[in-house]
Amino acid sequence: MSDEPELADADAVDRETVDLEVAVVGAGAVGATTAYDLARRGADVTLYDRGPVAAGSSGRAAGICYDAFADRVDAEIAGEAIERLRTLSGDETFPFVECPYVWLAREGDDDRAAAISAGIERMQANGVVALEADAEALAERFPALRTGDVAVAGIAGAAGYTDPERYTACLAAGAEGMGAALEIGTGVGVRTEPPRLLIEGDEREVDAVVVAAGAHTKRVLADAGVPLAMKPYRVQALVADGDLEEPMFYDASDGFYVRPHPEGLLAGDGTETVEADPDDYERAASPDFAAGLLERVKQRFSGIGGDLEVDRAWAGLCTATPDRKPLVGEIRDGVYVATGFHGEGVMCGPAIGDRLAKTVLGGVGIDAFDPTRFTGEETVAIGDGRAIE
């Protein structure tokens, strides 16, 4: 593909031959990035997926990216990801469009309003560029927003959106260009002690396995006898016409989000608080989803257009953990995992892939995301992925 040299030039490292054979299971945003970052450092990498690249959650994601996290580690990861998206994006790779991100609480929603104000203070203390705004200031900055019912809002200084499918395809192609093998359409099982793959009944021993199979990660590891404190859940989104340039927006009181899209706008909500079966869930949007969501969008935005026409609507899967932080790192000797992103896998993938690759090659992991902090038997509650705590 034409994007290989551009990625290599923009993301160069001192490449050495690494005597390590690594299998990456899952060709979504995180898996493809990890494979690319391993291959560009000289590891012998094979990227497996039983379906096409970005066929799962990454191909159904919103592509919203921002660094507005109150937790220092979360903000650091998100900031690294945004900087990398800026560096690698382009006409020959994938788009990254800078766009302000706004999150708000409505009048009467005192707990969320207080949480937003407190969160912004923590962000600023950690060096994140984030501003607090009242209804008047928000309306002045973003005339397209109706703000009469807004109690408080935050505005992120570093934010934008990408095309998750194109990003993932680009990183998978980049991995192949760096020497990785792509085994697309190949289902694999994982075994431990030592790490090995099960392919069509045959076992193949490798030095390390990275399982980044999205909602399927729990099932893949369960077959290997490794319990995982993660639960998949269903979410919904749509693309509609309309004239929206900025901002990206999240209504914490009502639990829906909107961002610009080349065809108009992309909006989503519909978090279902029950565990979903990744092999048997409804991929089409629910019958009343689009009409109900677009009515809420029109109430929030002025001048966005009259009767919005839905181009397409769909459902995808996100993954939850007990403490709302992802599971990233070594879970058994030579077996690594990356899942539990609460819908933020594409947002964090450019940084997580790089950090996880370094961990596999002997570097330090992310302590806060260490998957062994759980036994796998914990209760996992499902909530809105962008919820304000």
Residue type for position 340? G
Could you tell me the two tokens for 250?
Answer: 């999240």
Among 315, 314, 297, residue whose Cα is nearest residue 306: 297
The C-alpha atoms of residue 91 and residue 70 are separated, in whole angstroms, by 33
Place of tokens 């705590």: 389
The C-alpha atoms of residue 370 and residue 208 are separated, in whole angstroms, by 17
* DSSP classification of residue 309: P
- Which run of H or E residues covers position 175? helix 164-177
Contact assessment for residue 130 and residue 152, using Cβ atoms and an 8 Å cutoff: no
Architecture of domain 3-61+164-229+322-373: 3-Layer(bba) Sandwich (3.50)
pTM: 0.94
Among 21, 23, 26, 22, residue whose Cα is nearest residue 220: 26
Domain ranges of the chain: 3-61+164-229+322-373
Among 343, 362, 342, 338, residue whose Cα is nearest residue 32: 338
Give me the helix-helix angle, 345-360 and 72-88, nearest 10°. Answer: 90
How remote is the C-alpha of 352 from its chain's centroid?
10
Sign of CA dihedral 370, 373, 377, 381: negative
The C-alpha atoms of residue 173 and residue 229 are separated, in whole angstroms, by 32
Place of tokens 């392919």: 199
DSSP assignment of 126-169: TT--EEEE-HHHHHHH-TTB--TTEEEEEEESSEEEE-HHHHHH
How do the pLDDT tens digits run along the chain, 389 residues long?
A: 334 446 755 676 656 667 899 999 999 999 999 999 999 999 999 999 999 999 999 999 999 999 999 999 999 999 999 999 999 999 999 999 999 999 999 999 999 999 999 999 999 999 999 999 999 999 999 999 999 999 999 999 899 999 999 999 999 999 999 999 999 999 999 999 999 999 988 999 999 999 999 999 999 999 999 999 999 999 999 999 988 899 999 999 999 999 999 999 999 986 899 999 999 999 999 999 999 999 999 999 886 756 788 999 999 999 999 999 999 999 999 999 999 999 999 999 999 999 999 999 999 999 999 999 999 999 998 876 656 65
